[in-house]
Structure 1
């Protein structure tokens, strides 16, 4: 049985200094008012120092597994352990721009676009460390409707634990941003979202499929109280597996329960 151990440590002293500096450099202000439209911008500058050590193989330069903990990227090839590696970058720095346009009937149309530079394949570490921006979120909202890319309706963002790691405990949480059309009414929200599945075959190979003929459908109920909140969500999805020797399709579903319980200034989160 092959086992692997990964140590991925963001240096504590630098992390504290960076957190303080990030707080000073976080911006959120009105950029302009254009008629009935209010424009805002925000973001922060973040420096990361990461030390990684694998006991069963290694990951190449700029591999996503060296930026944050993703269980599926931990090498278990049975290879000899390599020397530890040190990475430093500012690719998690973030910028966002939003607008809020007031309409004559009292409603408003809001937009938001949010960018960072993590997981970029552009640039290199030899000369300028220039990296391409990527879309985190980009959407428009109007009277309960949301169109664009945002956190999945199946996910409860406020139940994610607070960690120094950019993703956190990915092996125990729902974590996905994707394109969707979502409608929210009261405590209920419903969405049709981009379908994407990763299937592990009998031989252990991981196959990413995007051949579903229907979007993912989700429904979610949020209950809020003084003690915290509770979220219950359901997901319906078409799973497809199409290769040269197989063409299979199955209807599947998932259920998620998550929330946060407040204890004074502290809280307990679960998912």
Structure 2
């Protein structure tokens, strides 16, 4: 327990003397994180921003996104390239070449801004897509964001505070690198933003995401306490560097299937991005993210939802599982219309508590793409993907994919 709380104490103490200027809406807008695949509100319809005579502004925006995919066998997902799902012992039908066209990533977003005082705004934001299930022809509406933000407070459903969205490279692949911290949670977040530094702390809902005892099927669908997440960050026009701490409570059904027991997971993440080789109106960019912890599989893209936060060992004792995840990425801007991104990512899950040697041990993810923006509202891309899934026995499966993308913003 002392180790877990020490992580957050260090982050809180580092932030104590970093903030002496006044927070402002202009800073929040300047450093508002936007995922490369999120809706960009530089486009939009309906009314403009608040003015002295008009306190309310409304905007509707979104895009139509089509993905064409060619799989060279062993990939079992349509638009998501999930390395942990690559078959290690494939049957013949899983090795067949597959093609698909998928528009489920198309989305629309609504933003309302109310000018409460001359210096404070209330922002309400909602965003949806149609990626509610795996089948490529099943277009179920899916909530991506729903939150309100006033001053330093955010309440609602959005990217977890643990996710450094600005440190995410631009990709065609909807899933992204296997090691990225990527969940969205319902949360209450306090964010203190300064010109050169920022600090945030949040309480967030989460899934237990553990492997239950044999014969017990009712994985606890509630958690006794919210997750506590905090970060300290330095940022500027050059990029950002962030240190994040995660404390998560895991409530699980005991081996007798009578009571609920509790344990604590913890994690530390170091991430950021930095512009390099700036010239004219373009620059290259370097991205990185490294995460280590125990009981935080839910927060790591490739193993979230697989029950790897914790599992019982050979003695019947529930243990949190240690995980390491890291990625490096580089963006090269060829000119104002073309850019390329290369991504290398690695994840490892290893513990004496793992009895089943067919369970995942590590995954590897590699990607390279070329992105083209012929005009302001239109984007095209082509991306090559490679994935490797290795189990505890060191057996592995590999997969290759090529994806084409078109995006039309409105």
- Aligned residue number for residue 23 of structure 1: none
Does structure 1 residue 67 correspond to structure 2 residue 79? yes
Does structure 1 residue 252 correspond to structure 2 residue 271? no
Deviations 1:175-214 (A, max 9, x none): 11111110111311110001213235799xx996533200
Question: Whole-Å Cα distance in 2 between the matches of residues 74 and 137 of structure 1?
Answer: 29
The match for 1:158 among 157, 166, 175 is 166
Structure 1 contact 239–250 (Cα < 8 Å) conserved: yes
**TM-score normalised by length of structure 2:** 0.52
Distance 1:85 1:207, change over 3 A: farther
- Aligned residue number for residue 266 of structure 1: 284
**TM-score normalised by length of structure 1:** 0.76
- Aligned residue number for residue 72 of structure 2: 53
- Name which of structure 1's ranges 245-254 and 211-220 shifts more when overlaid on structure 2: 245-254
Structure 1 contact 116–135 (Cα < 8 Å) conserved: yes
Does structure 1 residue 224 correspond to structure 2 residue 235? yes
Q: What are the equivalent positions in structure 2 for 1:97-246 lying under 5 Å apart?
A: 97-104=110-117, 106-120=119-133, 129=137, 131-169=139-177, 171-186=178-193, 187-200=198-211, 209-242=220-253, 245=256
Structure 1 contact 109–141 (Cα < 8 Å) conserved: yes
Question: Whole-Å Cα distance in 2 between the matches of residues 43 and 233 of structure 1?
Answer: 31
Structure 1 contact 101–109 (Cα < 8 Å) conserved: yes
Question: Whole-Å Cα distance in 1 between the matches of residues 103 and 220 of structure 2?
Answer: 32
Question: Whole-Å Cα distance in 2 between the matches of residues 227 and 104 of structure 1?
Answer: 32
Runs of 4+ in 1 over 6 A off after TM superposition: none
Unaligned runs of 5+ in 2: 1-40, 290-410
Deviations 1:1-22 (A, max 9, x none): xxxxxxxxxxxxxxxxxxxxxx
Distance 1:207 1:233, change over 3 A: farther
Question: Whole-Å Cα distance in 2 between the matches of residues 150 and 28 of structure 1?
Answer: 21
Unaligned runs of 5+ in 1: 1-25, 60-64
Structure 2 contact 219–253 (Cα < 8 Å) conserved: no
